Amino acid sequence: MRKSTIAIAGFMAALLTMSAAGQASAAVFNLDTNRWEYGTSAPQVTKGKRYSPIQKEIVAYETQHKPGTIVVETSERRLYLVLEDGKALKYGIGVGRDGFRWSGQHKITRMAEWPGWTPPPQMRKRVPDLPAYMPGGPENPLGARALYIGSTLYRIHGTSEPWTIGSAVSSGCIRLTNDDISDLYTRVRVGALVVVRQ
């Protein structure tokens, strides 16, 4: 039995075929390489890749920012959610690769669960075969949750590629594991300040 998944606007996002062993293969768009990668579906796409997830933890953190503020320390590859009493919840993150890093202060303007992805015009110019839109789901590059940062093109979002956490890998967005972005999502609100430092 053959199954196919077709993205919106006629773009084929993934083609699932059942093998003799009963395992499905799938195509996933990798934002880091700007290419479609073909392999086994969800849990097995990571086969052969070894990584040690960076565990979130509560740490001492002196800052003038009020609780609820998100501080991204790009050079550390860490995100801090400011808590009460001089503490913060620290998460491991993936950050922008060379040429895509940025800094500034903005507020969260939108939050979404399993967000759809509309590649920006600049990215579609670099990679003409990108879909105009990809619906949300486990294979979407934005992962399980997304926090939209001001009026920028950047987001704090999840990823189906947890081995990239701790690296400079993105086109400017801040990525966390799906578990960590889901946790952060429950702790922040629209209007929260996001401070990104180099």
Kind and range of the H or E element at 185? helix 178-187
Active-site annotation holder among 71, 81, 147, 173 = 173
Q: Is 106 a catalytic residue?
A: no
Active-site annotation holder among 7, 157, 162, 178 = 157
d(CA 66, CA 124): 38
32's tokens: 């880091």
Q: Is 65 a catalytic residue?
A: no
111's tokens: 């939050």
In this structure, are residues 143 and 29 in contact, taking their beta carbons and an 8 Å threshold?
no
Question: Secondary structure of the chain: what % helix, strand, coil (to 5)?
Answer: 15, 35, 50
Catalytic residues: 157, 173
